[in-house]
Structure 1
Amino acid sequence: MFPGERPMFYRHYVCSNAIGPYLVGVDAGGTRTRAAIVTLDGVVAGYGTGPGANPNSGGGTSGELTQALTTALTAALKELDPARVVHGVFGIAGAGAANRPRAVASANAAWAAAGVPGEPEVVTDIPVAFAAGSAERTGIVILAGTGAGAAVIDAGEIERRSDANGYLIGDEGSAVWIGREGVRAAMRAYDGRGRATVLAETVPRALLGEEAEPLLARLDRAIVAPTGAPTAGRTWSGSDLPQAIIRKVYAERPASIGKVAPWVSAAAEKGDPVAVEIVAEAVRHLLEDADAVRPALDDLLAAREGTAGFGLVVSGSLLESGPVADGVRAGLVSRFGVEPTPAGDGAVGAARLAAHRAGR
């Protein structure tokens, strides 16, 4: 490292000798938790990560949620003085009204465990994602990672929201939703209810790893043909492979099925008809989310007589690249006439929101 060069952690240059005061931003998603310690002039002074912490999709206990937040926050603070923290925002996926008491309790516990005075502010990850991608006061954010939905944000507050309701009753178009649809397509192919698809071969590899190979060796090859042809009455996979998938899926947390989503996207890019339909349905769901909240944005802009701009932000792993990202981006451009902006780091976005709210 050259003299004066700052070390880089998690794609952020970290100024290890920044003395504060500090703002804290925590972004807790279904698969990973990130925490950033930022000075008042925007320098990242510390950064840490922990496991996922989504009360809806993560399926963890209150203790596990607290531990995930504590791990990320204490790693970010490290050698910094927690007494110099002046404000903090925790953006926690699934921290809406239904799960807010648990999210607040876990955030407060992590805050205290890290030795930070006072209490943090707890919001959902939705306004945090918008702040990570836009400096505008008002706009729309579309999310598709472990969960999925859309919202209109105004001054850091959610004006209207669509979906982001958790894996059991919503999150349509999310990685968990796509993963579940991919597994369902494979299971339908195995027992003759569905159509031939390469997912019947790639889904077991995504879920079972090397354990899948001997089971796949006995699979009727007509089931995995990328033709989309009906399998009813022609093929039978036997019970071993489907039962192995059932055991794996039900033994893990709901969010873990999202690891199948990249395999569905890859199959769609290669033209597998079943995978193409799943991706198209995911795109349709996400654009429906945007359409559902847009009237609230139009009302806010009309009240300002067209004098203000607006942000259009996409956030989440599915909207970074790939066929879902391409479809959603094209749909948003046709609707709004502008390219959406990818969200940056959610923890830094939470710290920006903390700066705004501290100033307020």
Structure 2
Amino acid sequence: MDDVKVVLGVDAGGTSTRAMVASPDGLRAARASGPGGNPSARGVEAACAAIAGAVTRALEAYGGGPEIAAAVLGVAGHEPFLTGAGREALLRALPVAGARLQVVGDVPVAFAAGTPEPSGTVLISGTGAVAAAIEDREAVAIADGLGWLLGDRGSGYWLGRRAAESVVRRLAGGEPDTPLTHLIVTAVLGHGPQKHGPQKHGLQKHGPREHGPREHGPQERGPREHGPHEEGRSLANAVIRSLQSAPPAAVAALAPHVGTAASQGDPVATEIVTEAAALLAETVAAVRRPGDTTPIVLAGSVLTTPGPVREAVHDLLSRRWRAPIATAGSGAGAAAWLAARTLLGPAATPAHPLLVTSGADE
């Protein structure tokens, strides 16, 4: 194949879009990123623009005016791109004329980011959570992925919401705060509980007359002997007000604090981690047959980031299934490898680790 012909891989999610341009053998690659390219979240026009921008920058980074021979676009919320006006808009936005082009969902791409095998199971936990059984690199059964309001158990949103819920209940109930309290309050309000009194931890230690009624508004009507409870309730209300107006992604952004607090021995955070891992393992069990020995791929920011959640999920899955468990690498690299397979077939297998690892998503 002429060395100026390249393959293109795109991993377009709700938060960001990553593109990779590479030689089919994986020995040379360039990548670029941009805003989210999920058409369901951002609209078809904005998604097309985001994907096209990332692709253009990746081509420029590769240099030499390469021609795209094959492309695989993994797009979350991809349905509008598969048929009709959405697909046409995408084709017009990309320099893919004459290329072998596939537009697929993000689930098969996430699986390929962890293994070159054709079949297995992928568990994704990022802002949302979903598991899928993969056969011949296509999703044949899916569990969860029902959205932040009704599903996505064990996802970043679920972790963030559970952490915030636990913190505000403890604050409102006058219970001693834990490291998780400090982390969540600081993340939401920009300052920790210690800003409301001389103690860094233990809001219950504050005396009833440390703050005047003007600082607490309606709380001044409570019994004076419960001053610490008033302060906790006031702080809880501030957290509630902030999160009620926040988008789901902002709630999901609280998830890493759960792992941090659990690593510090916080019992509240540890309980949340244990529950999240159990829910994610249940989601896998919904699509995976007993005794299955095909690979399990862990994908999404919650499971690709080292920490207590990934460790707990890995432990549960390894105890239930005697199967290799891999952590996903670059989604854009995996999509580029899938594109290379359309040109080279099984001969593209050696390029898999090169593309998935060298393009590790940042």
TM range (shorter): 0.7 to 0.9
2:67 to 84, 95, 102: 84
Structure 2: how far apart are the matches of 1:172 and 1:110?
32
Q: Is the 8 A contact 1:183 1:203 kept in 2?
A: yes
Structure 2: how far apart are the matches of 1:175 and 1:200?
18
Q: TM-score, normalised by structure 1?
A: 0.77
Moved more, 131-140 or 113-122: 113-122
Note the C-alpha offset of 1:149: 1.8
Structure 2: how far apart are the matches of 1:289 and 1:145?
14
Residue of structure 2 equivalent to 1:6: none
Note the C-alpha offset of 1:138: 1.0
Note the C-alpha offset of 1:34: 0.9
Structure 2: how far apart are the matches of 1:224 and 1:23?
61
Residue of structure 2 equivalent to 1:260: 254
Distance 1:189 1:239, change over 3 A: closer
| Largest Rg, 1 or 2 | 2
Report the residue type matching 1:28 in the other structure: A
Matched, 1:350 2:342: no
Residue of structure 2 equivalent to 1:218: 196
Deviations 1:61-82 (A, max 9, x none): 4443333322322211126577
Residue of structure 1 equivalent to 2:52: 70
Structure 2: how far apart are the matches of 1:152 and 1:206?
36
1:295 to 270, 275, 289: 289
Q: Is the 8 A contact 2:24 2:337 kept in 1?
A: no
Matched, 1:123 2:108: no
Matched, 1:109 2:89: yes
Q: Is the 8 A contact 2:173 2:232 kept in 1?
A: no
Runs of 4+ with >6 A deviation? none
Structure 2: how far apart are the matches of 1:257 and 1:173?
13
Report the residue type matching 1:348 in the other structure: G
Deviations 1:87-107 (A, max 9, x none): 222212233xxxx11676666
Structure 1: how far apart are the matches of 2:10 and 2:149?
25
Structure 1: how far apart are the matches of 2:18 and 2:195?
41
Secondary structure of the corresponding residue to residue 271 of structure 1: coil
Moved more, 173-182 or 62-71: 62-71
Note the C-alpha offset of 1:24: 1.2
Matched, 1:236 2:230: yes
Secondary structure of the corresponding residue to residue 323 of structure 2: coil
Distance 1:241 1:278, change over 3 A: same
**In angstroms, what is the RMSD of aligned CA positions?**
3.1
Note the C-alpha offset of 1:174: 1.2
Count of aligned pairs:
317
Residue of structure 1 equivalent to 2:267: 273
Q: TM-score, normalised by structure 2?
A: 0.76
Distance 1:177 1:124, change over 3 A: same
Secondary structure of the corresponding residue to residue 310 of structure 1: coil
Secondary structure of the corresponding residue to residue 78 of structure 1: helix
For structure 2, list consecutive stretches of 5 or more residues without a partner in the other structure.
Answer: 206-225, 346-362
For structure 1, list consecutive stretches of 5 or more residues without a partner in the other structure.
Answer: 1-17, 226-232, 299-308
Report the residue type matching 1:65 in the other structure: A
Residue of structure 2 equivalent to 1:175: 156
